[in-house]
Chains A and B, each alone.
Chain A
Amino acid sequence: MIEVQGLSKRFVQGRGRGARAVQAVDGVSWRAADGAITGVLGPNGAGKTTTLRMVAALIEPDAGQVRVDGIDVAREPRAALRRMGVLSDARGLYPRLTARENIVYYGRLHGMSQSAASARADVLAAMLDMKLLLERRTEGFSQGERMKTALARALVHDPANIILDEPTNGLDVLATRALRRALRRLRDEQGKCIVFSTHIMQEVAYLCDRVVLVAHGRTVAEGSVAELNARAGQDDFEETFVRLAFSAEERGHAGLA
């Protein structure tokens, strides 16, 4: 379970007089339960990636708290990371290593033995349907193959909490479907807590049990797709998203009102 409470982060860009402060995240709060897929949905620049980076202890928040299975990330980042598998926005692989070596390397960094990590790579390969890829060097992998390898790498230590930052970016429809299938299995068979950020509402509608709508660094709504539709008085989730995430003024500027 992941709990985010009142998280804030300000970045200062540039130096001296040209410096400009950007409030990337402004008091975001949400909760992701075990055995459920929680979608963090927001337009580009809403602060999704920054929030997830703070959850993964990569950035220290200015204010607020993140708890992963009750562990305070700020106080015990390494203990929290052991309970998380993160597929971040950047998912570079080592091109001269095989997919298995890429996965086993992360297993070793999680304190697993060589043989345990290698056995786990086989299990994950079966689940993600990438057995044929395992012994190939990742140089020349397609986007979908890269994503699968990166996901297997993030899950090598069998974490209870899985965080995925825009995982479907750059994937074709078949790869996207394969990913959805894998995530559902992780939820249904293993009761994982899965957090999934995206700016594509179809993804959320297809997959998520709960949705957290964020805009301008704040949580604007939280609930299931049906609940949010009811709240906005709309049948179409896209319309709900636009109504809830953007102010009337912004909609007017974009010609959506």
Chain B
Amino acid sequence: MIGDAWAVFRKELTDALRDRRTLLMVLLSSVAIGPLVLVLISALVSGIERQAEARELVVHGIEHAPTLRNHLLRQTYTLRPAPPDYERQLQDSKLGDPVLVIGADFEADLARGEPPVVEVVGSSANPRAQTGMNRLMQLLEGFNHEQATLRLAVRGVSPAALQAVQVEERDLAGPATRAAQLATMLPFFVLMAVLYGALNAALDTTAGERERGSLEPLLMNPAARSALVLGKWGAVASVGMLIAVLSCFSFLPGQWLLRSETLAALFRFGPPEALRFLALLLPLAGALAALLMAVAIRCKSFKEAQANATIVVLGVSMMPLVNLFSQEGEQPWHLWVPALAQVTLMGRVLKGEALGPLDVFVPLLVSAAVTALGVAYVARTLRSAALR
């Protein structure tokens, strides 16, 4: 029994690994895309950081407002005149900074005590310029505050009269939590990598075997059907697990490519996190392999099986959304749902939270149950599948 299962396992694994073209596509689409996205995010974040570090403002008509200019220069900002077609450039996302527009009567109005109007021009369709809006608004707020304080001081009123309430901001998220926000897509990518890794092998050993007409002769060997299915499942699960290992560890070098130092410091995904990911993903790879095989064994052709497997793929890819849309936050039952449990727990690992033994045990139990059911179903269906 063990010998037969081992023979099937070896043959199926060789067969799957020889399917170079498919493997290459899986590697490219699932394993490489995660680090690629990571690098893209880092490029975006470092661009935003550069913008913030540059302390540069784009202003139109600063010559009309020496007082404001004085204030801005004292905040150590450098001022850059806006290009004449700044509106169009903002709309086309060619200009990455919002533009401060000052009217010709600014200084005179200010001196008379009438509030001059300034415009902060941006475009909500231009995310780069939009991130600078807040900063510019805060600067103008600061100018307002300074002017008001001065006027009160001239009239002998304490500036504290203006401030009935003192507001201070306190952010409860630590650096690790902020990084986790950015990295929420990471569990999704590794999950899909595992699924796509197991998909082809699972379909090939079941529906593919039927389509080739090699299932009937296979069953005319004296090997037990359970041994055949166990060997097949082992090979499919191994391919899925191999992809899981590759994709988890692909994020480690991906990290070196992070351009932003702050981001690199925030994004904590080292070898210990990778190992924790694997502890969650490997049992799931086994369960997904069994599930895909159970779906595919009913199908006469590889194509039909692909169509049927779409449901599994869709189900697994929808799981992370439960977390996203759930108003009540994480629920205890989440840990009992395959894929959702893994995504939830991987999210916790990224937040730097510890995993309890029960947290790991429940999904492990569910994965083992799904695996056992799937393998038993395939073994039961194998003979009737060979004949149809």
Interface residues of A (CB under 8 A from B): 53, 56-59, 77-79, 81-82, 84, 86-97, 101, 105-106, 108-111, 150, 153-154
Which B residues lie within 8 Å of A154 (CB)?
Answer: 217, 220
**Given A58-B383, A97-B11, also A106-B214 (CB < 8 A):** no
- 21 sampled A-B residue pairs with Cβ under 8 A: A58-B387, A81-B220, A81-B222, A90-B217, A90-B386, A91-B213, A91-B217, A92-B212, A92-B214, A94-B214, A97-B14, A105-B11, A106-B221, A108-B11, A109-B7, A109-B218, A109-B222, A110-B222, A111-B222, A153-B217, A154-B217
B217 touches A92 (CB 8 A): yes
Set A82, A86, A95, A108: member contacting B217, Cβ < 8 A: A86
In the complex, the chain A residue whose C-beta lies closest to that of B19 is A96
**Could you say which residues of chain B place their CB within 8 Å of the CB of A88?**
216-217, 220
CA distance A89 to B217 in the complex (A): 9
**Which residues of chain A are near B44, meaning CB under 8 Å?**
none
B223 at the interface (CB under 8 A from A): yes
Cβ 8 A contact of A150, one of B11, B18, B217, B383: B217
Enumerate chain A residues within 8 angstroms of B19, measured Cβ to Cβ: 96
Q: Is B273 interfacial (CB-CB < 8 Å)?
A: no
Q: Is B261 an interface residue (CB 8 A)?
A: no
Known: A88-B216, A94-B15. 13 other contacts (CB 8 A): A58-B216, A88-B217, A89-B216, A90-B216, A93-B214, A96-B18, A97-B14, A105-B7, A106-B217, A108-B4, A109-B223, A111-B3, A154-B217
Name the 7 nearest CB pairs between A and B, nearest first: A92-B214, A92-B213, A90-B213, A92-B212, A108-B7, A109-B221, A78-B222
Within 8 A of A (CB), among B305-321: none
Q: Which residues of chain B have C-beta atoms less than 8 A from A89's C-beta?
A: 216
Chain B residues, CB < 8 A from A79: 222
- The residue in chain A whose Cβ has the minimal distance to the Cβ of B16 is A96
Q: Name A87's closest neighbour in chain B (CB-CB).
A: B217
A58-B383, A81-B220, A93-B214 known; A109+B15 contact, CB < 8 A = no
Interface centre among B4, B15, B222 (most CB of A within 10 A): B222
Would you call B219 an interface residue if the criterion is a C-beta within 8 Å of the partner chain's C-beta atoms? Answer: yes
Minimum CB distance partner of B383 in chain A: A58
Q: How far is the CA of A67 from the CA of B111 in the complex (A)?
A: 114
B379 nearest CB across to chain A (Å): 15
Given A108-B7, A109-B4, the answer on whether A93 and B212 have CB atoms closer than 8 Å is yes
How far is B330's CA from A84's CA once the two chains are assembled, in angstroms?
59
Q: Chain B residues with Cβ under 8 A from A78's Cβ?
A: 222, 224
Question: Least Cβ distance of A26 to chain B in Å?
Answer: 19
Q: What is the bound-complex CA distance between A84 and B19, given in angstroms?
A: 32
In whole angstroms, how far apart are the Cα atoms of A222 and B207 in the complex? 40
Known A-B contacts A53-B387, A58-B387, A78-B222; A96 and B214 likewise in contact (beta carbons under 8 Å): no
> Which B213-236 residues have a C-beta within 8 angstroms of A?
213-224
Please tell me if the beta carbons of B220 and A86 are within 8 angstroms of each other in the complex. Answer: yes
Taking CB atoms, residues of chain A closer than 8 Å to B8 are 109
**How close is A57's CB to chain B, nearest CB, in angstroms?**
8
Bound Cα distance A150, B220 (Å): 13
In the bound complex, CA of A70 to CA of B214 (Å): 29
Query: Once bound together, how far apart are the Cα atoms of A91 and B218, in whole Å?
Result: 9
The chain B residue sitting closest to A77, CB to CB, is B222
List B residues 1-55 near A (Cβ within 8 Å). 3-4, 7-8, 11, 14-15, 18-19
Contact B214 A58 (CB under 8 A): no
Could you tell me the distance between the alpha carbons of A82 and B18 in the complex, rounded to whole angstroms? 30
User: B386 touches which one: A58, A86, A93 (CB < 8 A)?
Assistant: A58
Nearest chain-B residue to A109 (Cβ)?
Answer: B221
Out of B213, B215, B221, B386, which one reaches A81, CB within 8 Å? B221
Q: Which residues of A contact B215 (CB under 8 A)?
A: 90, 92
Contacts of B219 in A (CB 8 A): 58
Q: Which B355-383 residues sit within 8 Å CB-CB of chain A?
A: 383
A91 partner residues in chain B, CB cutoff 8 A: 213, 217
Determine the residue in chain B with the shortest Cβ distance to A81. Answer: B222
Decide if A90 touches B214 in the complex (CB within 8 Å): yes
Q: How far is the CB of B215 from chain A (nearest CB, A)?
A: 8
Per-residue contact bits, chain B 180-213, to A (CB 8 Å; 1 contact, 0 not): 0000000000000000000000000000010011
User: Which of B18, B220, B224 is within 8 Å of A58, CB to CB?
Assistant: B220
Return the contact of A56 from the options B4, B7, B15, B220 (Cβ within 8 A): B220
A residues less than 8 Å from B18 (CB atoms): 96-97
A78's closest neighbor in chain B, by CB? B222
| Contact A82:B216 (CB < 8 A) given known A96-B15, A109-B4 | no
Closest residue to A154 on the B side, CB-wise? B217
Asked whether A82 lies within 8 Å of B387 as measured between CB atoms, the reply is no
Evaluate whether A97 and B15 lie within 8 angstroms (CB atoms) in the complex, with A58-B383, A92-B213, A105-B7 already known.
Answer: yes
How far apart sit A69 and B131, CA to CA, in the bound complex (Å)? 85
Bound Cα distance from A158 to B7, whole angstroms: 19
How far in angstroms is the closest Cβ of chain B from A208?
A: 23
The minimal Cβ–Cβ distance linking A132 to chain B, given in whole angstroms, is 21
- Chain B nearest CB from A199 CB (Å) reads 19
**How long is the Cα–Cα vector from A209 to B220 in the complex, in angstroms?**
26
Q: Looking across the interface, which residue of chain A has its beta carbon closest to that of B18? A: A96
